[in-house]
Amino acid sequence: MCGRFSIAKSKEEIAKRFNVGTPANFKPRYNIAPMQELPVITSRNPNEISMMRWGLVPSWSLDASTAANMINARGETIGSKVPFKHCIKDQRCLIPADGFYEWKKEGKLKVPYRFTLGSEELFAFAGLWDSWENPETGDILNTVTIITTEANKLVSDIHERMPVILRKDLERLWISETITDSQMSSLLKPYDPLSMSSYKAHKAVNAAANDSPDCLLHAPKIYPGETFSLFE
């Protein structure tokens, strides 16, 4: 799965990398969590960053309570699952990022690890989005989910699933109006583990409310005679 990620780059770097316009108030994010806003590039507005809430609320939902359960969509079944199958046609999106976090159980602790591309450059997750209208207020809520696939060899030691990371040269194909079903399926595969890296992350990332650069730090090394808790 993917439950936390970062996009710790400036709006200028994002604009240059994805060739898009960015919101004037955009700031780097170090620990994006579900139910928070995140930047997306949609198939309907491919030249601008749009801000959407993480956790899909299908357009036909009676209320927004489904969001917390729909932060991820399994790539193998999105074409048949009711919440996602209408989105796959023309509501695909890119979700810019530069790393994501997973937790591994080590003894009695769950220890965070950060995964990046080897060069720590920007990349894009494959996602789906939808718009929901609040029946009481008429307000429109735009929401998004991150597509997942089976974990590659690097991630599988920590978790059995991982987010779909698109190759740079195939990002625009994912949001193209002319993409075929077979092309979509071919993109929803594990990323090359040899092009990725990982490290044990700092305890700061454990708290979803903590969105500081400390989240990107490596966990301190423990030397003989010292003690350290990732959760203190």
User: Which residues participate in catalysis according to the annotation?
Assistant: 2, 102
CB atoms within 10 A of CB 134: 12
Quick one: tokens of 51? 């801000």
Contact 13, 102 (CB under 8 A): no
With contact defined as beta carbons under 8 Å apart, do 130 and 124 qualify?
Answer: no
Structure tokens at 44: 């309907």
Per residue, the 3-state secondary structure of 5-18, as one string, reads EEECCCHHHHHHHH
Q: Strand order of the sheet with strand 109-117?
A: 29-32, 5-7, 99-106, 109-117, 196-200
Place of tokens 């890296």: 197
